[in-house]
Amino acid sequence: MELLPLSAILLVTLFGCLALGLWVGFSLITVGLVAMVLATPAPAGAVFATKAWASLNIWDLTALPMFIWMGEILFRSRLSSDMFRGLAPFTRRLPGGLLHVNIIGCALFAAVSGSSAATTATVGKMSLPELKARGYDDRMAIGTLAGSGTFGFLIPPSIILIVYGAATEQSIARLFLAGVLPGLMLAAMFGGYTMLWSLMNKHRTPEPDPSVSFVEKLKAAALLLPTVLLIVAVIGSIYAGLASPTEAAVVGVVGALVISGLTGGIDRQGAWESLRGAAMTSCMIAFILAGAAFLTGAMGYTGIPRTLAAWIGQQDLSQYALLAALLVFFIVLGFFLDGISIVVLTVSVILPMVMAAGIDPIWFGVFLVLVVEMSQITPPVGFNLFVLQSITGKDIFTVARYALPFFLLLVAATVLLTAFPQIALWLPSTMSAR
């Protein structure tokens, strides 16, 4: 069959399956089967078995369920309430006041959970009622949380960076380090915008709370100590070369269990629910990875990736033009697919042309995650929007409108990362130099 009609059939099949509500993993397998039937006499069952096994038989993926379990434990603990009480005394006098608790709290929780949706839900359930009770503007309270919740994809231990590293055979430890400075940069941009908005809209910002004593600040800082120690244990052990990502994930799980046990924030039922939630999420991701691997193999038989890569090569695009085209492409995909699906579905086709253009695959992983973060706050398939819809009761398009300034800040962060690639590459280069 000609490539153009075949491509059209496969696209219609994919979006048709997704529109019908079929699970993403099943959708990818269905498209792969259609491609195999139309393009090659090779046995689809044997190809599926081989590709699915190869995609999951990767040692680095063992870190994935452990980091997910760590996040599930902390999600059910008192960590979020302790973070709010610990951060509030240090942010109440800043322009924007307690809105900064959303930003800093999400950054801290992202560094111990690795999940965007878990970060948004955990911080949101604690901060939004407090902000509403104190008279903060709904638009900014929800917008800062929607944007900052995406930190779970970028700040290590990021689940999506583990998936990208496994799919592209890149070092997960170096990817984790590459995500640190861009994540801090993004948090600083969100904080700066919040302060600027507050100064320009003083009539919509409550009066600052009274100052607190130094002793009270020390007590608040003590509430943050477990979170900081857990971050240091997980990320510090990787950076110092003391542990692989998988070993650091085990350290994180043990640390999360200790914190939850000492604070009394989780009981036997909560521990069981955390294990069950981690197993379900891990199986979902594994299913998507297997489906994407089969689809990738099927696409190899069709010749579409080779033809597409050759066509793009013939356009003689500069690095910046290629990245701009990919930025638009991924944003459009984000309207229909979740972040992990975007990564596993596209990297096998995109990465060869990216590397041919001389772009570092570690840097591209951070670029891709930044773009995928945008998909979390774009309707109709924005998981952070769904989470906030369930918490606030507002419709998804209202929440998306509140999140729009932070979507634009994500675009600006992507531009900065492209202009100054060392933002992502400096820390990994220090690790390589050791």
The pLDDT tens digits for 241-292 are 788 878 888 888 888 888 887 776 677 888 888 888 888 878 877 887 788 7
CA 284 distance to own-chain centroid: 16
What's the pLDDT tens digit per position in 45-94?
888 898 888 877 777 677 778 877 887 787 777 776 777 778 878 887 78
Q: Which residue has the tokens 């999506």?
A: 160
Instruction: Determine the structural domain holding residue 360 and report its residue range.
Output: 3-432
User: pLDDT at position 190, please?
Assistant: 94
Q: Residue 303: left (phi > 0), alpha (psi -120 to 50), or beta?
A: left
Distance between first and last Cα of the chain: 52
* Nearest Cα residue to 2 out of 424, 403, 307: 307
Alpha-carbon dihedral 175, 181, 186, 191, rounded to 10 degrees: 150
Q: Please check whether residue 94 is in contact with residue 192, taking contact to mean a CB–CB distance below 8 angstroms.
A: no
Q: Determine the length of the chain.
A: 434
Say how many CA atoms lie within 13 Å of 312 toward its Cβ: 21
CB neighbour list of residue 413: distance below 8 Å, 6 or more residues apart: 182, 185, 186, 189, 370
**Domain count along the chain:** 1
Please give the model's pTM, rounded to 2 decimal places: 0.77
- 188 pLDDT higher than 60: yes
